[in-house]
Amino acid sequence: MSSVTVREIIEGLDLEVLHLPEKEIRIYNDELIRPGLQLSGYFDMFAYERIQIFGKTESNYVETLDQNNKINRIDKIFSYPIPAAIVCSNMNIDSVMVYCAEKHDRPLLRTKDSTTKLISKLDNFLEAKLAPEITVHGVMVEVYGIGILLTGKSSIGKSETALELVKRGHRLVSDDAVIIKLIGNILECTSPEITRHLLEIRGVGILDINHLYGVGSIRLRQKLNVVINLEEWDQSKAYDRLGFDEKYVQILGKNVKKMDVPVRTGRNIAMIVEVAAMSIRQRILGYNIEDEYNKRFENYNKNKKM
C-alpha cells in the first residue's frame, strides 16, 4: 500500500512545524477532515485517521469556548492517533493546542495558505503520492501529444525506436522501467529518478537525452493513451491489416488500447509509431477511419448493383 510521511508533506507544502514527533509517521489515507463537530463535543464516528485541518472557522470557534471545554475537547482530539493537525491562514495557535500536541506527541503544523488553498494543494499532493502504482518493463514516449508505451522482449528495438522518435522531435518519458500511477481516472507514466532522461542503446551505452537533444526532448510525466507491443514477425500469425480489431490490456484496472506491431528488416518502426499516434489523435478529434471505410464500402456495393 502506498504511503507518505508527515515529513514529506512538510517539505512538499513548506509547512511550519510547531511540534513534530521523532518517530516517522506514515499516512495511507488521502482524505481530510475539518474537526468542527469534535470541537463542539461530538466524537461519534470521528475520522481520526485523516489529517485534521483547522481553518479560520475552527480557530475562531476555539476562542469562544470556556477554558474547561477548550481543554477537554482539544485534548480529546489529540488523544486520538491523528496523523497531523494543520492550522491555516497563519492563524495564532492557542497554547492549549500546542500543549495537547506535545502531551500526546502529535504533529502540529501551520501554513500561510488559506483553508481552501491548502486543501486543494494537499489533495493534489496526497493523490499523487498515494495513487496505486506499478512498474513495467518498456519505453514510454510522447508522440504528437499521445502517450505511447512501447513493450516487447529485450533487444526487440524499443530503445532504438525511442531514439529515432526523439530525433524526429518527439519526447522521451522513460526507458527500461516505467512507473504507472492511477491518478483519478488517468494513468500517468513517469520514470524512476535513477534513470530519468537516460536511454540505453546496446553497443553504444547510456545516453543522456536531455544533454544530447535539449529539454524539449524529454517529458517528466505523460498520460498513457496506447500500448504498442513490438514482436518478431511471425509468418503463421494473422496480423490486423485494417486496424478495426480493438485490443485492450488492463493496467491498474483500466482498459488501455493495445496494438501488436511486427518487427522485421525493412520496417520503419518509428514511422509506424508516429502514424499510430496521429490515428489516435484523429479519433480524439472525432474522425474515425472505420466509419469512413464502411461508408465507402457501402457506396461501392450500391454502385456495383446499379
The per-residue pLDDT for range 103-149, each reduced to its tens digit, is 999 999 999 999 999 999 999 999 888 989 999 999 999 999 999 99
Report the distance separating Cα 298 and Cα 41, nearest Å: 73
The pLDDT of residue 49 is above 80: yes
Q: Which residues are catalytic?
A: 137, 158, 176, 241
Which CATH number among 3.40.1670.10, 1.10.3720.10, 3.40.50.300, 3.90.1150.10 corresponds to the domain 133-294?
3.40.50.300
| Longest Cα separation, the chain | 95
Class of domain 4-130: alpha beta
pTM, rounded to two decimals: 0.75
Lookup: cell for 233: 514477425
Rounded CA gap, 70 and 77, in Å?
A: 11
d(CA 107, CA 78) in angstroms, rounded, equals: 9
On average, the pLDDT of the chain sits at 90
Task: Inform me whether the pLDDT recorded for 265 exceeds 80.
Answer: no
Whole-number Å distance between alpha carbons of 270 and 51:
48
pLDDT score of 35 more than 60: yes
| Interval 50-105: pLDDT, tens | 999 999 999 999 999 999 999 999 999 999 999 999 999 999 999 999 999 999 99
Q: Is beta strand 133-137 parallel, antiparallel or unpaired with respect to 146-151?
A: unpaired
Return the domain boundaries, the chain: 4-130, 133-294
